[in-house]
Structure 1
Protein backbone atom coordinates (compact mmCIF):
# COMPACT_ATOMS: atom_id res chain seq x y z
CA UNK A 1 0.00 0.00 0.00
CA UNK A 2 1.39 3.38 -0.92
CA UNK A 3 1.81 6.11 1.66
CA UNK A 4 -1.17 8.55 1.68
CA UNK A 5 1.14 11.57 1.64
CA UNK A 6 2.90 10.14 -1.39
CA UNK A 7 -0.45 9.77 -3.15
CA UNK A 8 -1.25 13.44 -2.55
CA UNK A 9 2.07 14.53 -4.06
CA UNK A 10 1.85 12.21 -7.09
CA UNK A 11 -0.88 14.44 -8.52
CA UNK A 12 1.38 17.48 -8.65
CA UNK A 13 4.86 18.50 -9.71
CA UNK A 14 6.17 18.35 -6.12
CA UNK A 15 6.37 14.56 -6.02
CA UNK A 16 10.10 14.31 -6.91
CA UNK A 17 10.91 16.78 -4.15
CA UNK A 18 8.86 14.78 -1.69
CA UNK A 19 10.67 11.57 -2.61
CA UNK A 20 14.00 13.25 -1.95
CA UNK A 21 12.88 14.42 1.47
CA UNK A 22 11.27 11.10 2.33
CA UNK A 23 14.40 9.07 1.80
CA UNK A 24 16.95 11.56 3.09
CA UNK A 25 18.66 10.74 6.37
CA UNK A 26 17.58 13.33 8.89
CA UNK A 27 17.89 13.85 12.63
CA UNK A 28 16.32 16.43 14.93
CA UNK A 29 17.90 17.10 18.32
CA UNK A 30 17.26 19.52 21.18
CA UNK A 31 20.56 20.86 22.59
CA UNK A 32 19.79 21.94 26.13
CA UNK A 33 21.40 24.50 28.40
CA UNK A 34 23.19 23.98 31.70
CA UNK A 35 23.65 25.95 34.90
CA UNK A 36 26.58 26.30 37.27
CA UNK A 37 25.87 25.34 40.85
CA UNK A 38 28.74 27.17 42.50
CA UNK A 39 31.70 28.46 40.50
CA UNK A 40 35.14 28.90 42.02
CA UNK A 41 37.97 30.47 40.02
CA UNK A 42 41.18 29.22 41.63
CA UNK A 43 44.12 30.57 39.61
CA UNK A 44 45.37 31.26 36.10
CA UNK A 45 47.10 28.26 34.56
CA UNK A 46 50.33 28.37 32.52
CA UNK A 47 48.30 27.64 29.36
CA UNK A 48 46.32 30.86 29.85
CA UNK A 49 43.11 29.20 31.02
CA UNK A 50 41.80 29.48 34.57
CA UNK A 51 41.51 26.53 36.96
CA UNK A 52 37.85 26.16 37.92
CA UNK A 53 35.58 24.24 40.26
CA UNK A 54 31.87 23.96 39.61
CA UNK A 55 28.92 21.64 39.29
CA UNK A 56 27.37 21.56 35.82
CA UNK A 57 23.68 20.69 35.89
CA UNK A 58 21.52 20.27 32.74
CA UNK A 59 18.28 22.23 32.35
CA UNK A 60 15.48 22.00 29.82
CA UNK A 61 15.87 25.33 27.98
CA UNK A 62 16.86 24.09 24.54
CA UNK A 63 17.58 24.95 20.91
CA UNK A 64 16.35 22.88 17.97
CA UNK A 65 19.00 21.30 15.74
CA UNK A 66 18.17 19.59 12.44
CA UNK A 67 20.81 17.62 10.52
CA UNK A 68 19.87 16.47 7.02
CA UNK A 69 22.00 14.70 4.44
CA UNK A 70 22.59 17.08 1.53
CA UNK A 71 24.51 17.47 -1.73
CA UNK A 72 26.85 20.06 -0.21
CA UNK A 73 27.50 21.35 3.30
CA UNK A 74 25.34 24.22 4.50
CA UNK A 75 24.66 25.83 7.87
CA UNK A 76 21.59 28.01 8.40
CA UNK A 77 19.87 29.42 11.47
CA UNK A 78 16.66 31.04 12.62
CA UNK A 79 15.47 32.38 15.96
CA UNK A 80 17.93 34.49 17.93
CA UNK A 81 20.46 36.04 15.54
CA UNK A 82 23.87 34.40 15.85
CA UNK A 83 26.72 36.92 15.48
CA UNK A 84 29.91 36.25 13.54
CA UNK A 85 30.89 34.20 10.52
CA UNK A 86 28.74 31.02 10.16
CA UNK A 87 31.92 29.11 9.29
CA UNK A 88 33.06 29.68 12.90
CA UNK A 89 29.86 28.26 14.39
CA UNK A 90 30.53 25.27 16.64
CA UNK A 91 28.09 23.14 14.63
CA UNK A 92 30.21 23.66 11.52
CA UNK A 93 33.42 23.05 13.47
CA UNK A 94 31.96 19.82 14.85
CA UNK A 95 31.13 18.64 11.33
CA UNK A 96 34.61 19.56 10.09
CA UNK A 97 36.24 17.61 12.95
CA UNK A 98 34.44 14.41 12.07
CA UNK A 99 34.75 14.95 8.33
CA UNK A 100 38.55 14.91 8.70
CA UNK A 101 38.48 11.43 10.22
CA UNK A 102 35.43 9.83 8.61
CA UNK A 103 34.00 9.71 5.11
CA UNK A 104 30.66 11.20 6.11
CA UNK A 105 28.31 12.78 3.56
CA UNK A 106 27.65 16.49 3.29
CA UNK A 107 24.83 17.74 5.49
CA UNK A 108 22.59 20.73 5.91
CA UNK A 109 22.61 21.81 9.56
CA UNK A 110 19.79 24.11 10.57
CA UNK A 111 19.81 25.59 14.06
CA UNK A 112 16.77 27.28 15.52
CA UNK A 113 18.36 29.35 18.29
CA UNK A 114 16.28 29.74 21.44
CA UNK A 115 18.77 29.71 24.33
CA UNK A 116 20.21 33.21 24.87
CA UNK A 117 23.76 33.72 23.60
CA UNK A 118 26.59 34.66 25.96
CA UNK A 119 24.29 34.12 28.91
CA UNK A 120 26.25 31.67 31.06
CA UNK A 121 24.08 28.77 29.87
CA UNK A 122 26.49 26.95 27.56
CA UNK A 123 24.04 27.08 24.65
CA UNK A 124 26.65 27.27 21.90
CA UNK A 125 28.69 24.51 23.52
CA UNK A 126 25.58 22.31 23.61
CA UNK A 127 24.94 22.95 19.90
CA UNK A 128 28.45 21.82 18.99
CA UNK A 129 28.35 18.74 21.23
CA UNK A 130 24.91 17.68 20.02
CA UNK A 131 26.11 18.03 16.42
CA UNK A 132 28.86 15.51 17.20
CA UNK A 133 26.36 13.14 18.79
CA UNK A 134 23.87 13.58 15.97
CA UNK A 135 26.41 12.89 13.23
CA UNK A 136 27.68 9.87 15.15
CA UNK A 137 24.18 8.40 15.36
CA UNK A 138 23.01 9.46 11.90
CA UNK A 139 25.93 7.87 10.08
CA UNK A 140 26.65 5.00 12.47
CA UNK A 141 30.21 6.03 13.32
CA UNK A 142 30.22 3.98 16.52
CA UNK A 143 32.12 6.56 18.57
CA UNK A 144 32.23 5.90 22.30
CA UNK A 145 31.29 8.52 24.89
CA UNK A 146 34.98 8.98 25.69
CA UNK A 147 35.88 9.50 22.03
CA UNK A 148 33.03 11.95 21.53
CA UNK A 149 34.23 13.87 24.59
CA UNK A 150 37.72 14.02 23.07
CA UNK A 151 36.29 15.58 19.92
CA UNK A 152 34.11 17.90 22.00
CA UNK A 153 37.11 19.13 23.99
CA UNK A 154 38.56 20.45 20.73
CA UNK A 155 35.48 22.63 20.32
CA UNK A 156 35.58 24.28 23.75
CA UNK A 157 35.90 23.73 27.48
CA UNK A 158 32.18 23.30 28.20
CA UNK A 159 31.43 21.08 25.21
CA UNK A 160 32.43 17.66 26.65
CA UNK A 161 29.81 18.02 29.41
CA UNK A 162 26.97 17.84 26.91
CA UNK A 163 28.03 14.43 25.56
CA UNK A 164 26.68 12.57 28.61
CA UNK A 165 24.60 15.57 29.68
CA UNK A 166 24.25 14.64 33.34
CA UNK A 167 25.24 16.44 36.58
CA UNK A 168 29.01 16.38 37.21
CA UNK A 169 31.59 18.04 39.42
CA UNK A 170 33.95 19.90 37.10
CA UNK A 171 37.60 20.84 37.58
CA UNK A 172 40.56 21.71 35.36
CA UNK A 173 39.53 24.36 32.85
CA UNK A 174 36.05 22.82 32.79
CA UNK A 175 36.81 19.52 31.09
CA UNK A 176 37.68 17.19 34.00
CA UNK A 177 34.59 15.45 35.37
CA UNK A 178 33.91 13.64 38.62
CA UNK A 179 30.65 12.10 39.86
CA UNK A 180 28.61 14.27 42.20
CA UNK A 181 25.98 12.94 44.60
CA UNK A 182 23.33 15.46 43.72
CA UNK A 183 19.79 14.91 42.47
CA UNK A 184 17.40 17.82 42.10
CA UNK A 185 14.67 15.75 40.45
CA UNK A 186 11.26 17.21 41.21
CA UNK A 187 12.58 20.68 42.06
CA UNK A 188 11.29 23.56 39.95
CA UNK A 189 13.64 26.00 38.26
CA UNK A 190 13.10 29.48 36.84
CA UNK A 191 15.74 31.09 34.62
CA UNK A 192 15.73 34.77 33.72
CA UNK A 193 18.10 36.49 31.33
CA UNK A 194 18.13 40.32 31.34
CA UNK A 195 19.90 40.54 27.98
CA UNK A 196 23.14 41.95 29.40
CA UNK A 197 26.17 40.70 27.47
CA UNK A 198 29.20 40.15 29.67
CA UNK A 199 32.39 39.26 27.84
CA UNK A 200 34.81 36.69 29.20
CA UNK A 201 37.47 39.39 29.51
CA UNK A 202 35.13 41.62 31.52
CA UNK A 203 34.12 38.76 33.82
CA UNK A 204 37.65 37.60 34.60
CA UNK A 205 38.90 41.17 34.87
CA UNK A 206 36.47 41.80 37.72
CA UNK A 207 37.68 39.02 40.03
CA UNK A 208 40.78 37.95 41.93
CA UNK A 209 41.23 34.16 41.62
CA UNK A 210 41.59 32.41 44.96
CA UNK A 211 41.06 29.09 46.68
CA UNK A 212 37.56 28.72 48.18
CA UNK A 213 37.25 28.77 51.96
CA UNK A 214 34.79 25.86 51.95
CA UNK A 215 34.46 22.59 50.04
CA UNK A 216 31.79 23.50 47.49
CA UNK A 217 31.32 19.92 46.29
CA UNK A 218 30.63 18.78 49.85
CA UNK A 219 28.17 21.63 50.38
CA UNK A 220 26.29 20.72 47.17
CA UNK A 221 26.03 17.12 48.28
CA UNK A 222 24.50 18.31 51.55
CA UNK A 223 21.27 20.11 52.42
CA UNK A 224 20.12 22.58 49.74
CA UNK A 225 18.88 24.83 52.56
CA UNK A 226 22.54 25.64 53.32
CA UNK A 227 23.52 26.52 49.74
CA UNK A 228 22.47 30.17 50.09
CA UNK A 229 25.17 30.75 52.69
CA UNK A 230 27.97 28.61 51.30
CA UNK A 231 27.61 27.94 47.54
CA UNK A 232 28.92 30.95 45.63
CA UNK A 233 29.66 32.01 42.06
CA UNK A 234 32.89 34.06 42.16
CA UNK A 235 31.74 36.15 39.20
CA UNK A 236 28.41 37.14 40.70
CA UNK A 237 29.25 39.78 43.30
CA UNK A 238 31.42 42.08 41.14
CA UNK A 239 29.17 41.70 38.09
CA UNK A 240 25.97 42.27 40.07
CA UNK A 241 27.47 45.45 41.54
CA UNK A 242 27.95 46.77 38.00
CA UNK A 243 24.65 45.49 36.61
CA UNK A 244 21.94 45.99 39.22
CA UNK A 245 19.39 44.06 37.14
CA UNK A 246 21.23 40.84 38.02
CA UNK A 247 21.05 41.49 41.77
CA UNK A 248 17.39 42.50 41.43
CA UNK A 249 16.55 39.24 39.68
CA UNK A 250 18.27 37.20 42.36
CA UNK A 251 16.44 39.04 45.14
CA UNK A 252 13.15 38.56 43.27
CA UNK A 253 13.73 34.79 43.10
CA UNK A 254 14.14 34.68 46.88
CA UNK A 255 11.08 36.88 47.38
CA UNK A 256 9.06 34.34 45.38
CA UNK A 257 10.24 31.49 47.59
CA UNK A 258 13.40 30.12 45.97
CA UNK A 259 15.44 27.80 48.20
CA UNK A 260 18.53 28.82 46.22
CA UNK A 261 19.23 31.49 43.61
CA UNK A 262 22.38 32.47 41.76
CA UNK A 263 23.85 33.87 38.60
CA UNK A 264 25.13 31.12 36.32
CA UNK A 265 28.53 31.11 34.63
CA UNK A 266 29.91 34.56 33.94
CA UNK A 267 26.34 35.84 33.56
CA UNK A 268 23.98 37.33 33.00
CA UNK A 269 21.30 34.65 33.50
CA UNK A 270 19.94 34.24 37.03
CA UNK A 271 18.16 31.10 38.19
CA UNK A 272 16.02 30.22 41.16
CA UNK A 273 15.40 26.67 42.44
CA UNK A 274 12.05 26.12 44.14
CA UNK A 275 10.41 23.23 45.97
CA UNK A 276 7.36 23.73 43.75
CA UNK A 277 6.20 26.00 40.95
CA UNK A 278 6.03 29.58 42.30
CA UNK A 279 2.83 31.53 41.83
CA UNK A 280 2.50 35.01 40.41
CA UNK A 281 5.85 35.29 38.65
CA UNK A 282 6.10 38.43 36.54
CA UNK A 283 9.07 39.73 34.57
CA UNK A 284 9.64 42.80 32.42
CA UNK A 285 9.07 42.06 28.74
CA UNK A 286 12.74 42.43 27.76
CA UNK A 287 13.75 39.60 30.13
CA UNK A 288 13.89 36.17 28.49
CA UNK A 289 12.67 33.41 30.80
CA UNK A 290 12.27 29.66 30.94
CA UNK A 291 10.86 27.53 33.71
CA UNK A 292 10.25 23.86 34.29
CA UNK A 293 10.85 20.83 36.47
CA UNK A 294 14.39 19.54 36.93
Structure 2
Protein backbone atom coordinates (compact mmCIF):
# COMPACT_ATOMS: atom_id res chain seq x y z
CA UNK A 1 0.00 0.00 0.00
CA UNK A 2 1.39 3.40 -1.01
CA UNK A 3 0.20 6.49 0.85
CA UNK A 4 0.81 10.19 0.29
CA UNK A 5 1.35 12.33 3.40
CA UNK A 6 0.74 15.98 2.47
CA UNK A 7 2.53 18.96 3.95
CA UNK A 8 0.53 21.87 5.33
CA UNK A 9 0.92 25.60 5.62
CA UNK A 10 -0.72 27.97 8.06
CA UNK A 11 -2.55 30.74 6.24
CA UNK A 12 -2.26 32.68 9.48
CA UNK A 13 -1.40 31.51 12.99
CA UNK A 14 -2.60 33.34 16.09
CA UNK A 15 -1.48 32.36 19.57
CA UNK A 16 -4.12 33.63 21.98
CA UNK A 17 -2.29 32.79 25.20
CA UNK A 18 -1.04 30.05 27.50
CA UNK A 19 -3.51 27.59 29.00
CA UNK A 20 -3.49 26.36 32.58
CA UNK A 21 -2.06 23.04 31.36
CA UNK A 22 0.92 24.79 29.79
CA UNK A 23 -0.24 24.38 26.20
CA UNK A 24 -1.22 27.31 23.99
CA UNK A 25 -4.63 28.34 22.69
CA UNK A 26 -4.37 28.67 18.92
CA UNK A 27 -6.45 30.06 16.09
CA UNK A 28 -5.11 29.06 12.69
CA UNK A 29 -6.21 28.48 9.12
CA UNK A 30 -4.46 25.34 7.93
CA UNK A 31 -4.43 23.90 4.41
CA UNK A 32 -2.91 20.67 3.02
CA UNK A 33 -0.57 20.86 0.03
CA UNK A 34 0.20 18.77 -3.04
CA UNK A 35 3.78 18.41 -1.72
CA UNK A 36 4.64 15.89 0.98
CA UNK A 37 6.19 12.60 2.07
CA UNK A 38 5.30 9.10 0.90
CA UNK A 39 4.87 5.87 2.82
CA UNK A 40 4.78 2.22 1.80
CA UNK A 41 3.08 -0.29 4.10
CA UNK A 42 2.58 -4.04 3.85
CA UNK A 43 1.31 -6.64 6.30
CA UNK A 44 4.00 -8.35 8.36
CA UNK A 45 4.34 -10.50 11.44
CA UNK A 46 5.95 -7.65 13.39
CA UNK A 47 6.11 -3.86 13.26
CA UNK A 48 9.16 -2.43 11.51
CA UNK A 49 10.07 0.94 10.06
CA UNK A 50 12.80 2.14 7.75
CA UNK A 51 13.34 5.73 6.68
CA UNK A 52 14.79 6.81 3.34
CA UNK A 53 15.85 10.38 2.60
CA UNK A 54 16.58 11.51 6.17
CA UNK A 55 18.56 10.44 9.19
CA UNK A 56 15.68 9.62 11.53
CA UNK A 57 15.24 6.92 14.17
CA UNK A 58 13.18 3.88 13.23
CA UNK A 59 11.88 3.02 16.70
CA UNK A 60 9.52 4.57 19.25
CA UNK A 61 11.31 7.91 18.87
CA UNK A 62 9.69 8.16 15.42
CA UNK A 63 6.10 9.39 15.24
CA UNK A 64 5.26 6.95 12.43
CA UNK A 65 6.36 4.03 14.59
CA UNK A 66 4.39 5.34 17.56
CA UNK A 67 1.29 5.85 15.40
CA UNK A 68 1.52 2.32 14.01
CA UNK A 69 2.09 0.81 17.45
CA UNK A 70 -0.84 2.79 18.88
CA UNK A 71 -3.22 1.63 16.15
CA UNK A 72 -2.17 -2.01 16.24
CA UNK A 73 -2.49 -2.03 20.01
CA UNK A 74 -5.92 -0.34 19.97
CA UNK A 75 -7.12 -2.72 17.24
CA UNK A 76 -5.89 -5.75 19.20
CA UNK A 77 -3.84 -6.93 16.25
CA UNK A 78 -1.35 -9.74 16.76
CA UNK A 79 0.24 -8.91 13.41
CA UNK A 80 2.36 -5.93 12.43
CA UNK A 81 3.38 -3.97 9.36
CA UNK A 82 6.55 -3.26 7.43
CA UNK A 83 6.60 0.49 6.84
CA UNK A 84 8.96 2.50 4.65
CA UNK A 85 8.90 6.28 5.00
CA UNK A 86 10.23 8.20 2.01
CA UNK A 87 11.09 11.52 3.64
CA UNK A 88 10.94 14.39 1.15
CA UNK A 89 10.05 17.34 3.36
CA UNK A 90 12.77 19.14 5.35
CA UNK A 91 12.89 18.36 9.06
CA UNK A 92 11.65 20.74 11.78
CA UNK A 93 10.37 23.06 9.07
CA UNK A 94 6.82 24.13 10.04
CA UNK A 95 5.18 21.98 7.37
CA UNK A 96 3.79 19.33 9.72
CA UNK A 97 5.65 16.47 8.03
CA UNK A 98 5.89 14.20 11.06
CA UNK A 99 2.27 14.76 12.01
CA UNK A 100 1.12 14.08 8.46
CA UNK A 101 3.19 10.90 8.30
CA UNK A 102 1.55 9.74 11.54
CA UNK A 103 -1.99 10.51 10.32
CA UNK A 104 -1.34 8.73 7.02
CA UNK A 105 -0.05 5.72 8.96
CA UNK A 106 -3.25 5.60 11.03
CA UNK A 107 -5.45 5.77 7.93
CA UNK A 108 -3.44 3.15 6.07
CA UNK A 109 -3.43 0.67 8.94
CA UNK A 110 -7.16 1.21 9.46
CA UNK A 111 -7.64 0.20 5.83
CA UNK A 112 -5.21 -2.71 6.12
CA UNK A 113 -6.59 -3.97 9.45
CA UNK A 114 -10.15 -2.61 9.84
CA UNK A 115 -11.23 -2.32 13.47
CA UNK A 116 -13.47 -0.22 15.70
CA UNK A 117 -10.77 2.23 16.75
CA UNK A 118 -11.12 5.89 17.77
CA UNK A 119 -8.79 7.35 15.12
CA UNK A 120 -9.31 11.03 16.13
CA UNK A 121 -8.56 10.11 19.74
CA UNK A 122 -5.37 8.30 18.75
CA UNK A 123 -4.40 11.21 16.52
CA UNK A 124 -4.72 13.79 19.29
CA UNK A 125 -2.63 11.71 21.66
CA UNK A 126 0.12 11.58 19.04
CA UNK A 127 0.31 15.35 18.51
CA UNK A 128 -1.70 18.56 18.14
CA UNK A 129 -1.44 18.67 14.31
CA UNK A 130 -2.22 15.00 13.69
CA UNK A 131 -6.05 15.42 13.89
CA UNK A 132 -5.86 18.06 11.12
CA UNK A 133 -4.08 15.68 8.76
CA UNK A 134 -6.53 12.94 9.65
CA UNK A 135 -9.35 15.31 8.58
CA UNK A 136 -7.67 15.84 5.21
CA UNK A 137 -9.06 19.25 4.24
CA UNK A 138 -8.51 22.94 4.90
CA UNK A 139 -9.75 23.86 8.35
CA UNK A 140 -9.77 26.45 11.09
CA UNK A 141 -7.89 24.94 14.03
CA UNK A 142 -8.64 26.07 17.57
CA UNK A 143 -7.72 24.97 21.08
CA UNK A 144 -4.36 23.22 20.86
CA UNK A 145 -5.30 22.38 17.27
CA UNK A 146 -7.81 19.64 18.00
CA UNK A 147 -11.00 21.67 17.37
CA UNK A 148 -11.33 21.69 13.61
CA UNK A 149 -13.88 23.47 11.41
CA UNK A 150 -13.57 22.65 7.68
CA UNK A 151 -13.43 25.69 5.42
CA UNK A 152 -13.22 26.30 1.68
CA UNK A 153 -10.20 28.33 0.59
CA UNK A 154 -10.22 27.60 -3.13
CA UNK A 155 -7.17 26.40 -5.10
CA UNK A 156 -3.95 28.33 -4.50
CA UNK A 157 -0.59 28.23 -6.25
CA UNK A 158 2.43 29.04 -4.12
CA UNK A 159 6.14 28.59 -3.58
CA UNK A 160 7.72 27.04 -0.49
CA UNK A 161 11.21 28.09 0.53
CA UNK A 162 13.28 26.65 3.37
CA UNK A 163 16.68 28.25 4.03
CA UNK A 164 18.09 25.18 5.77
CA UNK A 165 17.34 26.24 9.34
CA UNK A 166 15.73 23.75 11.74
CA UNK A 167 13.41 25.34 14.30
CA UNK A 168 12.11 23.53 17.37
CA UNK A 169 8.39 24.19 17.76
CA UNK A 170 8.80 23.97 21.53
CA UNK A 171 11.46 26.69 21.48
CA UNK A 172 9.41 28.89 19.15
CA UNK A 173 6.53 28.92 21.62
CA UNK A 174 8.88 29.52 24.55
CA UNK A 175 10.35 32.53 22.74
CA UNK A 176 6.85 33.91 22.22
CA UNK A 177 6.07 33.35 25.91
CA UNK A 178 9.13 35.41 26.81
CA UNK A 179 7.81 38.38 24.83
CA UNK A 180 4.16 37.95 25.85
CA UNK A 181 3.20 39.12 22.34
CA UNK A 182 0.04 37.06 22.11
CA UNK A 183 -2.43 37.89 19.36
CA UNK A 184 -6.16 38.08 18.73
CA UNK A 185 -8.12 35.68 16.52
CA UNK A 186 -7.56 35.71 12.77
CA UNK A 187 -10.14 37.39 10.56
CA UNK A 188 -10.70 34.21 8.58
CA UNK A 189 -13.42 35.70 6.38
CA UNK A 190 -11.12 38.55 5.32
CA UNK A 191 -8.29 36.09 4.67
CA UNK A 192 -10.47 33.84 2.50
CA UNK A 193 -11.81 36.86 0.60
CA UNK A 194 -8.29 38.18 0.05
CA UNK A 195 -7.13 34.81 -1.25
CA UNK A 196 -10.11 34.52 -3.60
CA UNK A 197 -9.48 38.01 -4.96
CA UNK A 198 -5.79 37.33 -5.55
CA UNK A 199 -4.88 40.34 -3.39
CA UNK A 200 -1.26 41.45 -3.25
CA UNK A 201 -1.56 41.51 0.53
CA UNK A 202 -3.61 39.04 2.55
CA UNK A 203 -4.56 39.98 6.15
CA UNK A 204 -2.89 37.01 7.80
CA UNK A 205 -0.03 36.91 10.27
CA UNK A 206 2.04 34.41 12.22
CA UNK A 207 2.35 35.20 15.92
CA UNK A 208 5.50 33.09 16.17
CA UNK A 209 7.31 34.77 13.27
CA UNK A 210 8.84 37.86 14.99
CA UNK A 211 10.47 35.88 17.80
CA UNK A 212 11.72 33.14 15.47
CA UNK A 213 13.10 35.61 12.92
CA UNK A 214 14.89 37.49 15.71
CA UNK A 215 16.86 34.32 16.47
CA UNK A 216 17.14 33.08 12.88
CA UNK A 217 17.64 36.13 10.63
CA UNK A 218 18.01 33.89 7.59
CA UNK A 219 14.24 33.40 7.70
CA UNK A 220 13.78 37.11 7.03
CA UNK A 221 16.13 36.73 4.07
CA UNK A 222 13.84 33.96 2.82
CA UNK A 223 10.72 36.09 3.22
CA UNK A 224 12.35 38.96 1.34
CA UNK A 225 13.57 36.59 -1.39
CA UNK A 226 10.03 35.36 -2.05
CA UNK A 227 8.77 38.90 -2.51
CA UNK A 228 11.76 39.82 -4.67
CA UNK A 229 10.89 36.87 -6.92
CA UNK A 230 7.54 38.49 -7.73
CA UNK A 231 5.40 36.52 -5.30
CA UNK A 232 3.06 38.12 -2.79
CA UNK A 233 1.98 37.92 0.84
CA UNK A 234 5.03 35.98 2.13
CA UNK A 235 4.66 34.36 5.56
CA UNK A 236 6.46 31.85 7.74
CA UNK A 237 4.51 28.61 8.15
CA UNK A 238 3.94 27.26 11.65
CA UNK A 239 7.01 27.50 13.85
CA UNK A 240 9.25 27.80 10.76
CA UNK A 241 11.59 27.80 9.12
CA UNK A 242 9.75 27.17 5.86
CA UNK A 243 8.24 30.30 4.33
CA UNK A 244 5.72 30.55 1.52
CA UNK A 245 4.32 33.16 -0.82
CA UNK A 246 1.39 33.14 -3.22
CA UNK A 247 1.57 33.06 -7.01
CA UNK A 248 -0.94 34.09 -9.65
CA UNK A 249 -1.09 30.56 -11.08
CA UNK A 250 0.95 27.38 -11.42
CA UNK A 251 3.10 28.77 -14.24
CA UNK A 252 3.92 31.87 -12.18
CA UNK A 253 4.87 29.64 -9.22
CA UNK A 254 7.12 27.46 -11.41
CA UNK A 255 8.93 30.47 -12.88
CA UNK A 256 9.48 32.04 -9.46
CA UNK A 257 10.74 28.74 -8.03
CA UNK A 258 13.26 28.47 -10.87
CA UNK A 259 14.50 32.00 -10.22
CA UNK A 260 14.86 31.31 -6.51
CA UNK A 261 16.61 27.98 -7.10
CA UNK A 262 19.20 29.73 -9.27
CA UNK A 263 19.79 32.37 -6.59
CA UNK A 264 19.79 29.99 -3.62
CA UNK A 265 20.96 26.58 -4.88
CA UNK A 266 21.44 25.19 -1.36
CA UNK A 267 17.90 25.99 -0.18
CA UNK A 268 14.88 23.68 -0.40
CA UNK A 269 12.42 25.24 -2.86
CA UNK A 270 9.15 23.87 -4.18
CA UNK A 271 6.41 25.22 -6.44
CA UNK A 272 3.18 23.61 -5.28
CA UNK A 273 -0.54 24.13 -4.72
CA UNK A 274 -3.17 23.55 -2.09
CA UNK A 275 -5.15 20.33 -2.31
Query: So what's the TM-score if we normalise by structure 2?
Result: 0.88
1:238-273 deviation per Cα after TM superposition (whole angstroms, max 9, x unaligned)? 222332221122122122222321100010001111
Match for 1:34 among 3, 8, 11? Answer: 8
1:186-227 deviation per Cα after TM superposition (whole angstroms, max 9, x unaligned)? x32110111211223431232224242x64212222223568
Match for 1:288 among 245, 268, 271? Answer: 268
Query: So what's the TM-score if we normalise by structure 1?
Result: 0.82
Aligned to 2:121: 150
Classify 1:202/1:102 alpha carbon distance in 2 versus 1 (closer, same or farther; 3 Å): closer
Distance in 2, matches of 1:209 and 1:241, equals 14
Match for 1:102 among 33, 58, 75? Answer: 75
Structure 1 residue 41, shift from structure 2 partner:
0.8
Classify 1:164/1:281 alpha carbon distance in 2 versus 1 (closer, same or farther; 3 Å): same
Contact 2:93 2:241 (8 Å CA) reproduced: yes
Contact 1:32 1:59 (8 Å CA) reproduced: yes
Contact 1:169 1:179 (8 Å CA) reproduced: yes
Aligned to 2:218: 245
Query: What are the ranges of 5 or more consecutive residues in structure 2 without an aligned counterpart?
Result: none
C-alpha RMSD of matched pairs (Å): 1.9
Classify 1:200/1:164 alpha carbon distance in 2 versus 1 (closer, same or farther; 3 Å): closer
Q: Give the count of matched residue pairs.
A: 261
1:115-153 deviation per Cα after TM superposition (whole angstroms, max 9, x unaligned)? 11110000000011100000011123365xxx3222111
Aligned pairs (5 A) from 1:60-71: 60-71=34-45
Distance in 1, matches of 2:182 and 2:218, equals 26
1:140-185 deviation per Cα after TM superposition (whole angstroms, max 9, x unaligned)? 3365xxx3222111110000111121100011011111132422x1
Contact 1:219 1:226 (8 Å CA) reproduced: no
Distance in 1, matches of 2:76 and 2:95, equals 33
Distance in 2, matches of 1:72 and 1:229, equals 49
Distance in 2, matches of 1:229 and 1:61, equals 22
Contact 1:220 1:227 (8 Å CA) reproduced: no
